[in-house]
Chain A
Amino acid sequence: ILNVEQSPQSLHVQEGDSTNFTCSFPSSNFYALHWYRWETAKSPEALFVMTLNGDEKKKGRISATLNTKEGYSYLYIKGSQPEDSATYLCAPNSGGSNYKLTFGKGTLLTVNP
């Protein structure tokens, strides 16, 4: 079982603020890292799947970077909006024949208007 740490556990920001949070995972046997956005009363939705060290992906105001050598990924949200309020989950995979994702506990983001 992979040890996945996400920080902070929760975050409150004002509309328009930019923010970021961290996902830490074991750097050995890394294959892929997933980021998911989970709104209350809904189901998780994929944001990014990243596999390469140094990879950077962007979707609108949200972007993510990946460092597989040191075992971390950052998620950035530029100009936060109230609709960005959600729990953001990361999930690494150690590859091979195993498709298993180990989800972190998530960062709960609340954007105040």
Chain B
Amino acid sequence: DAGVIQSPRHEVTEMGQEVTLRCKPISGHNSLFWYRQTMMRGLELLIYFNNNVPIDDSGMPEDRFSAKMPNASFSTLKIQPSEPRDSAVYFCASTVGQGAGYEQYFGPGTRLTVT
């Protein structure tokens, strides 16, 4: 299996622009998680889906952030408009089964820089 796939790997954009990050989970996994890694806050969960349905989006920082999972093999995280403080590494992870008893498999991350 190719593992969790994220694109792009690096994104540099100007403040105010829309940014879309993409994730393809491991085939057969039914839970998908979006995380953000910053020096200040560490690795924090933004939102997770189970069977394509958003379950908990309490970590989404504000209305500028939105996430979708139109099918079992694809998810997007969108920031509109982007701001410099959104600069971070964004990870997508997936897991099989339900509940937290299963290990999560992380993608390589997207490093976002907003200037």
Contacts and interface: CB of A to CB of B under 8 A. Distances in A.
Interface of A: 31-32, 34, 42-46, 49, 51, 89, 93, 95, 97-106
Contacts of A45: 106
Contacts of A31: 99-101
Interface residues of B, number: 24
Interface in B47-92: 48, 50, 55-56, 91
A105 B39 CA distance: 9
A34 B42 contact: no
B107 interface: yes
A95 B100 contact: yes
Interface of B: 31, 33, 42-45, 48, 50, 55-56, 91, 95, 98-109
A98 B56 CA distance: 8
A95 B91 contact: no
Given A43-B91, A44-B106, A101 B45 contact: yes
A103 B105 contact: no
Given A43-B109, A98-B56, A105 B103 contact: no
Nearest to B41: A105
Contact of B42 (A97, A99, A104): A104
A99 B100 contact: yes
Given A43-B109, A98-B56, A100-B48, 18 more contacts: A43-B91, A43-B106, A43-B107, A43-B108, A51-B101, A89-B43, A93-B100, A95-B99, A98-B55, A99-B33, A99-B48, A99-B99, A99-B100, A101-B45, A101-B100, A101-B104, A105-B42, A106-B42
A28 B104 CA distance: 23
Nearest to A32: B100
A68 B112 CA distance: 37
A63 B102 CA distance: 18
A66 B109 CA distance: 30
Contacts of B100: 31-32, 34, 93, 95, 98-101
A44 B43 contact: yes
